[in-house]
């Protein structure tokens, strides 16, 4: 046990201390928080046990997607599909979809597809979203489009 403790202490010099000012994994930024709030209202309004909403921490997003997260994300899960909302550090929200095979998770050929991207600007706590044509789009419409894809 002493040898084990000694080896752990040697390893400790290689660990990095977290900078609390840079850690955003446990808080949401206004853009993704706004979309999450609308998704939460939508899921509650549907009153369906087959539609669920799950938060994604910011440090989880880069593990599955090839961009740095700027503020986490969330997933709308239905009986047949997932819709992933993720905020990148470049003021974009990426929305991906993935179908379940026969209503269950499958490691097979069910591939993730990019549904759409949203650009946004923030002015204090005010967030404005833009579609791919640079036209303003409301957060309600964004959530509705993803939810509609998830259910149909």
CA distances from residue 120 to 8, 15, 56, 88, 113 in whole angstroms, order as listed: 45, 35, 19, 11, 21
Is 142 within 8 Å of 118 (Cβ atoms)? yes
Handedness of CA 56, 78, 66, 92 (dihedral sign): negative
Q: Please give the Cα distance from 30 to 132 (Å, whole number).
A: 20
At residue 109, does pLDDT exceed 80? Answer: no
pTM for this prediction = 0.76
Give the model's pLDDT for residue 66: 67
* Greater model confidence, 58 or 31: 31
- List residues bridging with 92 in a β-sheet: 119
Give the model's pLDDT for residue 10: 86
* Greater model confidence, 19 or 90: 90
Q: Please give the Cα distance from 11 to 41 (Å, whole number).
A: 47
Give the model's pLDDT for residue 72: 83
At residue 18, does pLDDT exceed 90? Answer: no
């Amino acid at each position: 046990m002493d040898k084990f403790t000694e080896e752990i202490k040697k390893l400790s010099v290689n660990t990095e201390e977290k900078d609390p000012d840079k850690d955003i994994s446990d808080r949401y930024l206004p853009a993704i928080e706004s979309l999450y709030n609308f998704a939460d209202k939508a899921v509650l309004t549907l009153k369906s046990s087959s539609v669920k909403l799950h938060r994604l921490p910011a440090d989880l997003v880069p593990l599955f997607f090839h961009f740095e997260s700027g503020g986490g994300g969330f997933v709308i899960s239905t009986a047949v599909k997932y819709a992933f909302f993720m905020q990148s550090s470049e003021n974009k929200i990426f929305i991906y979809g993935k179908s379940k095979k026969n209503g269950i998770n499958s490691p097979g050929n069910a591939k993730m597809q990019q549904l759409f991207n949203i650009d946004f600007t923030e002015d204090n706590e005010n967030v404005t979203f833009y579609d791919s044509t640079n036209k303003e789009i409301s957060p309600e419409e964004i959530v509705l489009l993803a939810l509609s894809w998830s259910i149909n």
